[in-house]
Amino acid sequence: MSARFNLSLYLVTDPEMTARRGLVETVAAALEGGVTMVQLRHKDGPARAMVEAGRALHALLARRGIPLIINDRVDVAHAVGAEGVHVGQDDLPPAAARAILGPRAIIGLTVSGEPQLATIDASVDYVGLSPVFPTATKTDTAPALGEAEFAALRRRIRLPVVAIGGITAANAARVIAAGADGIAVVSAICAASDPRAAAQALRAVVDPALKARSVSHLS
């Protein structure tokens, strides 16, 4: 795992799920529960609103040394001074994002199947492999990979991999066992009645699963 980021528990925000409590308040509670990375995601949000939200989150996260990643919008990431950007297959190519954001930026790329492995280039720092399980959070996703296909694809990726899609405390350990370096969640924290407790519950599963896998690799 890169010293610049830790994928163990990666929170991806949702504007509707965080509206009642507040975006910053939700993320602050999740940080107390052990979130290690945060992505600001608002697919159709206006740029000005995203920049304002991004600056508020960045101020919160910077105090804790937690990276802020902006979903898709390289321009917003640049304006906010975020640590990086996460792009999909139809977004700005990783190399173009790297050219804009510079050598220290964290660049993530979504991969949803074998044909997309070829899009992982030297500009990419980590891969979001998804969706592992069916999810209602995003309606435009590819079919769920399942654990076996996830594991097969993960073995072909040399970079750190974060798993996303339908992941909960009940199945997180299986995803880590399949090769994920961490899990990315949306509703498991954003829709929880207590984001802090939800994050703690996820870390209580992920941390020992990562440790167990590390030990098994050494034996």
- Whether 111 maps to a domain, the answer reads yes
Region 201-211 average pLDDT: 97
38 is in which domain, residue-wise? 9-218
pLDDT at 142: 79
For the segment 70-92, what is each residue's pLDDT rounded down to a tens digit? 999 999 999 999 999 999 999 99
pLDDT at 4: 87
Domain count for the chain:
1
Region 25-50 average pLDDT: 95
pLDDT at 45 over 80: yes
- Whether 167 maps to a domain, the answer reads yes
pTM > 0.85: yes or no:
yes
For the segment 126-173, what is each residue's pLDDT rounded down to a tens digit? 999 999 999 876 666 678 999 999 999 999 999 999 999 999 999 999
- The overall average pLDDT reported for the chain is 94
- Distance (Å, whole) CA 105 – CA 92: 15
pLDDT at 1: 45
Whether the ω angle into residue 103 lies within 30 degrees of 0, i.e. cis, is no
- Whether 2 maps to a domain, the answer reads no
Structure tokens at 42: 């608002």
pLDDT at 112: 96
pLDDT at 2 over 60: no
- Whether 58 maps to a domain, the answer reads yes
- Whether 1 maps to a domain, the answer reads no
44: which residues sit within 8 A by CB, 6+ positions away? none
For the segment 103-136, what is each residue's pLDDT rounded down to a tens digit? 999 999 999 999 999 999 999 999 999 999 998 7
DSSP per position, 60-97: HHHTTT--EEEES-HHHHHHHT-SEEEE-TTSS-HHHH
Looking at residue 195, which CATH number applies to its domain? 3.20.20.70
CA angle 119, 171, 168 (to 5 degrees): 85
